Amino acid sequence: MKAKQKVAIVTGAAMGYKRGGSSIGGAVAIQLAKDGYKVVVVDKLRTGERTVELIKEAGGDAIFIRSDVTSTKAVKEIMSITKAKFGGLTCLVSCVARYSSGMAKSVAEISEDEWNTTLAVNLGGYFKCAKYAIPLMLKSGGGSIVNISSYASFASMPNFSVYSVAKGAIDAMTRSIAIDFAPKIRCNSICPGFVRIENSENGRTRKELKEWYGRIAKQYPMKRVAEVEEIANVVSFLVGDKASYINGQSIVVDGGKSVYDFHEF
C-alpha cells in the first residue's frame, strides 16, 4: 500500500432503500471520503451505488461491493477486492443492521429462527468483518475499527430483546478487539440514540413525519433528533489521529437522553 494512503471499508453504507435518502452508513462513508480515505462501500442494497456517486461527485474515491456480510466467503472476497483495488486497509466501520416486525418481541415470544437470523446480521456480520479485516489491517501497518452499536446496549426497549442483545455483544466484542490488537489497531463503538434515517420513515407523509419526530424529540434534552452527519462526525474523530489514545470505549451519542430523568415533582 502506498505510504500514508487511507483506506476504509464501511458496511451497511447504502443510502436509504426507497429514495436514496439519509443513512448512518452512507453518511459515514461520505465523511470518510472527505477525510481523504479511499472508501469501499458494502451493502446488500443497490443504493450503495448512490453512496459512491455522492462521494465521487464531491471529488472522492470509492467503490461499491454488493455483498452479504453474514457469508464468510463474501467477507473474504470484500477483503480481497479491497487489497487488490487500494493495496490495503486502515479503517473498518461496521454499520449493518437488520430490522423486522418479527424481531420486535420479548425473549419468550420471539421465534428461534428470528433470533438466530437477526444475530447473524447484527452481531455475526460485525464479527466476520472484524475477523477478516484485522489481518489485512495489520499487514497495512494498523488502523482503527469503529462498530456502530446503540443506546439500546444500555437501556432496553420493551419487546425488542434480540436487538439489545446484539448491541450489548457488539460493545463487548469492541473491548475484546481493543485489548487484543493494541497498539496496532484501536477499536471503539458508537451508541446512538434515535437518528433520522430514511429507512425508518415507513411511508409517512411530511406532516406525519414532523409530528412523529416532534414526539420523539420530546424524549431528548436537545429537543430534536440526531442527524446522520452527527454520527459520521464522531466516526471521523475516532478513526483520526486526534483520538489516538481512545481505545475500547463505547461512545454514547444520544443528546443526553441516557442521563435524563423524566420525573416531574
Q: Are 254 and 151 in contact (CB under 8 A)?
A: yes
Grouping H, G, I as helix, E, B as strand and the rest as coil, residue 265 is coil
Q: Are 55 and 62 in contact (CB under 8 A)?
A: yes
Point out the catalytic residue in the list 151, 163, 245, 260.
Answer: 163
> How many whole angstroms separate alpha carbon 195 and alpha carbon 230?
9
Grouping H, G, I as helix, E, B as strand and the rest as coil, residue 175 is helix
Rg (CA), the chain: 18
Q: Distance between terminal CA atoms of the chain?
A: 61
Is residue 163 flagged as an active site residue? yes
C-alpha cell at 234: 464522531
> How many whole angstroms separate alpha carbon 165 and alpha carbon 163?
5
DSSP letter, residue 233: H
> How many whole angstroms separate alpha carbon 173 and alpha carbon 153?
12
Active site residues: 163
